[in-house]
Structures are given as structure tokens and as C-alpha cells.
Structure 1
Amino acid sequence: KCGLTNEGVLPSENYPDLVFRELNISLQTLKTSYIDVYMLHRDNLNMTVAEILEPLNEAIAKGYILSLGASNWTYPRVDEANEYAYKNNMKGFAVVSNNISLAVQSEPFYPGLISTDRAGEQWHMEKQIPLIPWSSQARGFFTGRWTPQMPANDGFTKRMIEVYCTDDNFKRLSRAKELGEKKGYTAVEVALAWLLHKPFPIVPIVGPHTQEELASCVKATTLSLTEAECKWLNLDE
């Protein structure tokens, strides 16, 4: 990734230098001569798409990057960037990394973060551009440990309650548990499997802390869901 800062936007100051400086750090850390997908962590609406894409395409021309990704970009802005790239014989964004999970965020977890809504899903269906969603398991919401009544003793717990502890999300959790019990899976595994049944290319980012959690993520890939079950889980019927 490029542009990992606490500012909430892609840094504009000395941006071309930033691209190559952070790219070199990534290449050295990964011990490789090129990166398959170089992802911008944020957008900056004060910069034109030309300003953003041109240094990245310079790195592509040098063989350091194979493809580009956009994280926390709106879909109209991705379209703008890709249209500019097409018209100028450059590479645009080949993947998008925004949030999506069975539990819907009531608001961005942190300022500037973008979630894929239904219009965004339609965008991915039409263009078949892959989505690499972060917080794909809703930061552990489907473990059932989060409730509105629990004490918010730290900032993270406070945000979990504010962002995820909604009536609809608890209905989704209940349905994931119910379906999982019938099929021999946990609610966490059902929620991840639901994502894997999207009608477009999707590679959810997971964050297992233990071997057991990793095994659970792998198990989720073996769960088959019908279209009706996917709709039911998401309260669509």
C-alpha cells in the first residue's frame, strides 16, 4: 500500500517522491523486484486523478508495479481515474479495496473510510473488477461478543457498539447462527461464506490471530449457500 498516514487522505505534498519512497520500502521488505498490486490507501479530492496516476504509471513503466488498486475510493472517482487512464494510454485501477461484510456499518468506522453499498455491488457486477474488502468479518461482530449493553471502556469498543450494534445487524447475526447450526458452521464462517458467494470477483481480507481462527476462515470456503439463503441472511427476504 501507498499513503498509509493518520491524515485520512492521500498525502499531496511531494507525492511523486512518496510513491517511489514507499514503493522502495515495500520492495525491500518483501525482497522482490516488483509488486503485483500496488494499492493507494486513500484518495485525496484536492488532487486530480492525473496527478495521482502519473507517478504510479512511471513506476509501472519501470517494471516495479504490475497493477494498481484503490482503497477507500468512491466508485465515481474510480471511474474518473480509469477513464483518464484509458484516454491517455495509462493503467488505471484493476482492483478496489473498500469495506463490505454481512454486518452493515451504520457509519464509517474512521473518517474517510468507504463501504461498498448496493450501488457499489452493482458497479462490481457490471465491470467485474475485483473487490478486496477489509473488515470482511466485521471486526469480530459475528462472534457474538459485542452488545450495546457492554461497557465501552476503550475507544475501539465504543466504535464497535456505535458502528455495528444495530437492530438489523443483530438480526443478521441471529440468522447466521441459525443457518450455521443447521449446516455445521459458526456464524463467523457463515458471514464469510456469504461474501464469497457474491456475483463478482471478491477476495476478502481476513485477520486471524490464531491457527484455529485461520482454520475457521478456510472452513468458510467449503460452505455452499443458495441465492435464497444469501438474501435471507442479508434480510432481503
Structure 2
Amino acid sequence: MDYTHLGRTGLSVSRAVLGTMNFGPETTEPDSFAIMDRAHELGVNFFDTANVYGRSEGKGATEEIVGRWFAQGGGRRDKTVLATKLYGDMGDWPNDGKLSALNIRRALDASLQRLQTDYVDLYQFHHVDRGTPWDEIWQAVDVAVQQGKILYAGSSNFAGWHIAQAQEAAARRHSVGLVSEQSIYNLIVRDVERDVLPAAEAYGLGVIPWSPLNGGLLGGIIDKTEAGSRRLEGRSADYVADHHDQLSEYEAFARELGHAPGELALAWLLHQPAVTAPITGPRTMEQWESAVRAVDIRLDDAALARLDEIFPGHKTSPEDYAW
């Protein structure tokens, strides 16, 4: 396994992140335990979850599964860089969501209880809270750091200017501020290249891409649908119909390189500026094993250029839309 520092910190994390969103609603608890054990066997130390994960099993259910896995002992917690998130409403009462100082305090304590741990390595804001001042957010975070309940703070789904706003507010308080940003980023959806990646680089944030296969569209969707192993519905069906030739070209290039399409998509992300590691949320052990293999793929300049031809990206703003 390859490791890198998370942004400008001294924290070493694996270049593959185990996403747990499917644990509970899609993946049974025993299978979830097996995937997490396998992650450690493969050297993956970076796990990501959120307080709202659980869907049909109820909000918080995924954190509880991770917590019961930690409770088995064997150094599981100590070997894990644990990331969770807050923002979404966990109840119907006022202050049960977003980033007020009150909710940060309550949501953090509730996550710690579910996760059966006394601290979170990376506590992430799942979304921007336009109704709470940054001074209030950072005061609550600073208190949690002083209490030893969190080590670092990160963001998710922020625009570049949100990152700048957060970091400048933190600097005024002499606080560390954000050390990571979790954004949707893949060969198909490359909007973060305009502003988010430059902001992350400028402020020393590690970028953690979510949906690296864009809902499976980069995982060999053409071959799978033609073989009858994948059924398309809704927006995915519309996208494939509109971009069939592009996706077919991509899958043909993956075969030419000798890689599975999904593994190639993950490897491409690992070659992008500011990217720490993509998140893969496996439903099965097979999906997880495939994701980790991507860490060992090395792409030369010609291969990277060919992928840019198939899926054109963006320049940094304002050059993306100006001279």
C-alpha cells in the first residue's frame, strides 16, 4: 500500500479510502466486518463514514456497525484513521442538524458513542452552512480539539470560495482550519478543477474524491449492460444513451492498457493534483479488492493525455472561460 500525508498535515493515510455508506442497508454486518478486516490486511488505514449513513436501517446505523467492529479489539481502532461527518438532520427538532456550536457538540458526542471511540481523527462538515458564522464554527471545533475529541477538521461539497472563507476565518483565530475537502470528482464530473482543486492546493488541503466511478458509469457499464449483468434505469440510462460512444471508447482504452475500467478511473484520480485518495464504498469484497488494486497502477503522460481526450476537463478559473 502507498501512503501520503493528508494535505499539509503530518498524518499518513493510505491512498485508498474505505467508504462505509453501504454498510447496513446494502452490506450485512458480517460482510462489513470482513471488508474492514481485509482493508487492514491490505494496509488501508483510512476509513470514512457519516452520522447520517444508514438509510433503510436508520440514520446512525453505519457508525454503529463501525463501532461494533472497533469493539472487537485487536488494535482495530488504533490502526484506523477515522473520518466521519456532520450536517444532515438527525432528528425533527431545531438544532438537530447543520453547523451551530450546539449541534457540533451534540452530533460529535453522539457519533463518538455510536463509534465506540473517544476521538475522531477527521471531523468533516458534510455541507456548507450559510446560516452559521465561521467564528462560531471554529470556536466549537477548537473546543473539541482541546477536549481531545477530534484531531483535524475537513469539509465536503465546498466551493473554492467556501474553502477560502473558512481558512481566512481560521487564520484570524490562529486555528488550524480545514485540512481536507471531500468533493465529487471523476473522469466524467471534473468541475472541481476550476476552483476547488486550486483552492485546496493553495491552502494545503488534501482532496478526497467521492463517487470516483460516477455511480458505476466508469466501471465498465457498456460491457456490463451488453452482457446483461447490469440493468440501466433513470438518469444512468439517459447518460449512457447520450454518451455511448464516449464510454465505449473509454472501455476499449482500458482493455488496451490491460486494466479494468473501474480500476483505471481510480488510478487516474491518484495522478491528479491535490488528490489524497478516492473513496470507494464497496457493497462486496470483490468490489473492494478491485478498488485497492488501482493504487498500484502507474499511468504515463500519453495515457493521461488520452483520457483527457476522451473526457475533457477544465482549466483553472478564470482561464477555464477566459483568456
State the TM-score, normalized to the length of structure 2: 0.59
Which of the residues 278, 287, 293 maps onto 1:213? 287
Q: 2:184 aligns with which of 99, 104, 109?
A: 99
1:187 aligned residue (227, 237, 261) = 261
| 1:123 shift after superposition | 2.8
> Which residue is 1:131 aligned to?
207
**What SS does the corresponding residue of 1:202 show, helix, strand or coil?**
coil
The whole-number CA distance in structure 2 between the counterparts of 1:222 and 1:187 is: 14
What root-mean-square deviation, in Å, do the aligned CA atoms of Structure 1 and Structure 2 show? 3.0
After superposition, what is the alpha-carbon deviation per residue over 1:170-228, rounded to whole angstroms, capped at 9, x for unaligned? 52x33432232123211111111110111324211111111111111112112111133
Structure 1, residues 53-105: CA drift from partner, whole Å, max 9, x if none? 22122111211111101111111111111111111112311100111011227
- Residues 1:2 and 2:86 aligned together: yes
> CA 1:100/1:61 → structure 2, altered by over 3 Å: closer, same or farther?
same
Aligned partner of residue 103 in structure 2, secondary structure: helix
Is this contact kept in 1: 2:88–2:98, CA < 8 A?
A: no
Partner of 1:21: 106
Q: In 2, are the aligned partners of 1:11 and 1:44 still within 8 Å (CA)?
A: no
Structure 1 residue 144 displacement after superposition: 4.0
The residue aligned with 2:25 is none
The answer (yes or no) to whether the contact 2:212–2:280 under 8 Å persists in 1 is yes
Aligned 8 A contact 1:50 1:81 in 2 = no
User: Is 1:177 paired with 2:251?
Assistant: yes
Change (3 A) 1:76 1:95: same
Q: Given the alignment of the two structures, is residue 121 of structure 1 paired with residue 197 of structure 2, yes or no?
A: yes
Pairing partner for 1:53 from 138, 160, 170 = 138
**Distance change (3 Å), C-alpha of 1:48 and 1:218:** same
Per-residue deviation, 1:2: 0.9
- CA 1:73–1:131: 2 relative to 1, 3 Å: same
Percent identical pairs in the alignment equals 29
- Structure 1 residues 169 and 65, CA gap change in structure 2 (3 angstroms): farther
Does the CA-based 8 Å contact 2:269-2:275 persist in structure 1?
A: no
Distance in 2 separating the partners of 1:57 and 1:166: 49
1:221-232 to structure 2, matched below 5 A, reads: 221-232=295-306
| Separation in 1, partners of 2:88, 2:167 | 22
For residue 162 of structure 2, the aligned residue among 77, 99, 103 is 77
In structure 1, distance between residues paired with 2:245 and 2:135: 43
Q: Does the alignment pair 1:42 with 2:127?
A: yes
The 3 A distance-change label for structure 1 pair 216 and 138 is same
Whole-Å Cα distance in 1 between the matches of residues 273 and 155 of structure 2? 20
Which amino acid in the other structure matches residue 34 of structure 1?
Y
Decide whether the 8 Å contact of 2:89 with 2:98 is kept in 1: no
User: What is the deviation of 1:161?
Assistant: 4.5
Distance 1:169 1:218, change over 3 A: farther
Name the SS of the counterpart of 1:97 in structure 2.
strand
Structure 1 residue 5: Cα displacement: 3.3
Amino acid at match of 2:207: L
Structure having greater relative contact order (Cα 8 Å, sep ≥ 6): 2
Question: Conserved in 2, the CA contact under 8 Å of 1:53 and 1:92?
Answer: yes
Matched to 1:5, the amino acid is D
Q: Secondary structure at the match of 1:224?
A: coil
Aligned partners of 1:200, 1:70: CA distance in 2, in Å?
14
Pick the structure with more strand per residue: 2
Say which of 254, 266, 278 aligns to 1:204. 278
The unaligned stretches of length 5 or more in structure 1 are: 106-114, 147-155
